[in-house]
Amino acid sequence: MTTNLPTPGLRDVPTAETPMTRKDFASDQEVRWCPGCGDYIILAAVQGFLPTLGLRKENIVFVSGIGCSSRFPYYLETYGMHSIHGRAPAIATGLATARPDLSVWVVTGDGDALSIGGNHLIHALRRNVNLTILLFNNRIYGLTKGQYSPTSEPGKITKSTPMGSVDRPFNPVSLALGAEATFVARTLDSDRAHLTEVLQAAASHRGTSLVEIYQNCPIFNDGAFDVLKDKEQAEARLVRLEHGKPVRIGEREWIHDAHADDPSRAFEISRLDDGTMAHVPIGIFRQVERPTYDDQVRSQLTAAASTQGEGDLDALIAGSDTWTVSHAPS
């Protein structure tokens, strides 16, 4: 017997009979990120967090694209697919639509999600397929050894931009909100408690959840988020968002409403960071209920079968205009 969790996002996913631990979710593969890579901390947080969901691990699937971050699925003892560059949201869309009994996760990088896979990302968000997307944003192409990415700051000097990048970066949260996302959050690799809390909310959300995780790449973009981790500066710069709680920036104060139907306010908050990281909101920007693509697809199947009856292949193939030849005329 399996019981199902009350969290809407995992409603149809069977639960484990016995409690599991972090170890149950660690695969036997040697983890191969560079020493000090932020990906390690995120992996540890996810391995620590997954058992708390209480799901059967065979009903959890991680799908990734290509990039350092996309190695993630190999290190988890769940089902997993390391796919191709940028396409994980599309693959996960098919899987989640076909299988309501799975908890489907996408792991992607800033290049994977926002460059080559930008189209799939925005369409997954607007469709609101029931999956959770973890966007590891290190503001650089790690795997290909350090070219600037769509989140790199203007003027960034990298191997491919020796005189500085002249591209304007995306703000992934703003982009997601503009793409009709129903759940958008941001967190930091270094803040395990916050990361875990956000992951919990994202997994529980029914629909596409986008979690941007600021991740340090010590090799090609070291210290990109140091000002947010530095004890002295962090609290002044981080704007912590919690639904129903007051938010204060200097003189301004307001009560954060993540459930507002209109995303304008969330968008405005996402623009607080003008690129200088003077005010960086973290937490859940937006969390609203909207019917999911996959639920609606499945309910159309059920409705068709109940109103028209289950499919009869012979009848389908024959159609309405048949004729019969009883014997060949000689």
Ligand X SMILES: Cc1ncc(C[n+]2csc(CCOP(=O)(O)OP(=O)(O)O)c2C)c(N)n1
* Interface positions with ligand SF4 (CB under 6 A): 33-34, 37, 39, 68, 138, 142, 217-220
Token pair for residue 45?
């947080």
Binding mask 36-75 for ligand X (x = CB under 6 A): ------------------------------xxxx------
Of residues 63 and 282, the one with the C-beta less far from other proteins: 63
Q: Out of other proteins, ligand X, Mg ion, none, which partner does residue 144 contact, by CB within 5 to 8 A per kind?
A: ligand X
Confirm if 183 and 259 have CB atoms less than 8 A apart. Answer: no
Residue whose C-alpha is closest to residue 114's, from 160, 143, 149 = 149
Q: Out of other proteins, Mg ion, ligand X, none, which partner does residue 315 contact, by CB within 5 to 8 A per kind?
A: none
Token pair for residue 75?
């290190």
**113: contact with other proteins by CB under 8 A:** no
Q: Which residue has the tokens 């795997």?
A: 143
Measured distance CA(188)–CA(191) in Å, rounded: 5
Q: String of b and e for 242-251 (b: at least 16 CB within 10 Å)?
A: ebeeebeeee
Q: Which listed residue (37, 55, 87, 108) binds other proteins by CB under 8 A?
A: 87
Q: Out of Mg ion, other proteins, ligand X, none, which partner does residue 329 contact, by CB within 5 to 8 A per kind?
A: other proteins
**110: contact with Mg ion by CB under 5 A:** yes
CA distances from 76 to 6, 18, 94, 219 (A): 24, 19, 21, 24
What's the distance, Cα to Cα, between the start and end of the chain in Å? 66
Of residues 64 and 182, the one with the C-beta less far from Mg ion: 64
Q: Which listed residue (47, 69, 78, 132) binds other proteins by CB under 8 A?
A: 78
Token pair for residue 304?
């068709």
**128: contact with other proteins by CB under 8 A:** no
**112: contact with ligand X by CB under 6 A:** yes
Residue whose C-alpha is closest to residue 25's, from 50, 54, 52 = 50
**222: contact with other proteins by CB under 8 A:** no
Q: Out of Mg ion, other proteins, ligand X, none, which partner does residue 94 contact, by CB within 5 to 8 A per kind?
A: other proteins
Measured distance CA(166)–CA(63) in Å, rounded: 32
Cα Rg of the chain (Å, integer): 23
Measured distance CA(109)–CA(229) in Å, rounded: 21
Site size for ligand X (CB under 6 A):
17
CA distances from 243 to 12, 106, 170, 173, 195 (A): 26, 25, 25, 17, 16
Considering only residues 125-144, where is the footprint of ligand X by CB under 6 A? Answer: 136, 138, 140-144
Measured distance CA(321)–CA(181) in Å, rounded: 47
Token pair for residue 288?
């609203």
Identity of the amino acid at 291: P
Of residues 114 and 179, the one with the C-beta less far from Mg ion: 114
Confirm if 108 and 88 have CB atoms less than 8 A apart. Answer: yes
**211: contact with ligand X by CB under 6 A:** no
Stretch that binds other proteins, among 193-201, 220-228, 232-240, 306-314 (CB under 8 A): 306-314
Q: Out of ligand X, Mg ion, other proteins, none, which partner does residue 264 contact, by CB within 5 to 8 A per kind?
A: none
Q: Out of ligand X, ligand SF4, Mg ion, none, which partner does residue 85 contact, by CB within 5 to 8 A per kind?
A: ligand X
Site size for other proteins (CB under 8 A):
63
User: Applying CB under 6 A, which residues contact ligand X?
Assistant: 66-69, 85, 109-112, 136, 138, 140-144, 149
User: Applying CB under 5 A, which residues contact Mg ion?
Assistant: 109-110, 138
